[in-house]
Amino acid sequence: AVDISNLRAETGFITLDPGYANTGSCLSAITYMDGEKGILRYRGIPVEQLAEKATFKETAYLLINGRLPNREQLTRFSVMLNDNSLVHEDLKTFYQNFPRASHPMGILSAMVNALRSFYPELGTLEEEITITMTRLLAKVRTMAAMSYKISRGHRVVYPRPDLTYCENFLNMMFDTPVRPYEINRAAVNALRVFWILHADHEQNCSTSAVRMVGSARVNLYAAISSGIAALWGPLHGGANQAVIEMLTTIQNEGGNYHKAIERAKDKNDPFRLMGFGHRIYKTYDPRAKIMKKMCDELLDSLQIDDPLLDIAKELEEVAVKDPYFVDHNLYPNIDFYSGIVLRAIGIPTNMFTVMFAIGRLPGWIAQWKESMDDPKWKISRPRQIYVGEREYDFVPIHARP
Q: Which residues bind ligand ACO (CB under 6 A)?
A: 19, 235-237, 239, 264, 272-279, 328, 330, 333-335
Compute the least distance from the CB of residue 332 to ligand ACO, in Å: 9
Looking only at the bridges linking them, the beta strands covering 39-42 and 45-46 are antiparallel
Residue closer to ligand ACO by CB (options 250, 273) is: 273
Residue closer to ligand ACO by CB (options 184, 204) is: 204
Sign, CA torsion 375/380/385/391 = negative
Question: Which helix (H) or strand (E) is 166 found in, with range?
Answer: helix 165-174
Q: Please give the Cα distance from 164 to 85 (Å, whole number).
A: 12
Q: Are the C-beta atoms of residues 330 and 288 closer than 8 Å to each other?
A: no
Q: Can you say how many angstroms the Cα of residue 371 is from the centroid of all Cα atoms in its chain?
A: 19
The active-site residue out of 236, 278, 328, 373 is 278
What are the φ and ψ backbone dihedral angles of 175, each rounded to 5 degrees?
A: -75, 135
Contacts with 87 (C-beta within 8 Å, 6 or more apart), sequence order: 118, 139, 142, 143, 146
Looking only at the bridges linking them, the beta strands covering 31-34 and 45-46 are unpaired
Residue closer to ligand ACO by CB (options 144, 330) is: 330
Compute the least distance from the CB of residue 325 to ligand ACO, in Å: 8
Sign, CA torsion 84/353/59/53 = positive
Compute the least distance from the CB of residue 73 to ligand ACO, in Å: 30
Q: Are the C-beta atoms of residues 382 and 14 closer than 8 Å to each other?
A: no
Q: Please give the Cα distance from 123 to 136 (Å, whole number).
A: 18
What are the φ and ψ backbone dihedral angles of 332, each rounded to 5 degrees?
A: -60, 140
Active site residue 201: no
Compute the least distance from the CB of residue 76 to ligand ACO, in Å: 32
Residue closer to ligand ACO by CB (options 136, 264) is: 264
Q: Please give the Cα distance from 211 to 25 (Å, whole number).
A: 9
Residue closer to ligand ACO by CB (options 23, 96) is: 23
Compute the least distance from the CB of residue 323 to ligand ACO, in Å: 12
Compute the least distance from the CB of residue 213 to ligand ACO, in Å: 18
Residue closer to ligand ACO by CB (options 279, 289) is: 279
The active-site residue out of 258, 335, 374, 398 is 335
Active site residue 335: yes
Point out the residues that are catalytic.
Answer: 278, 335
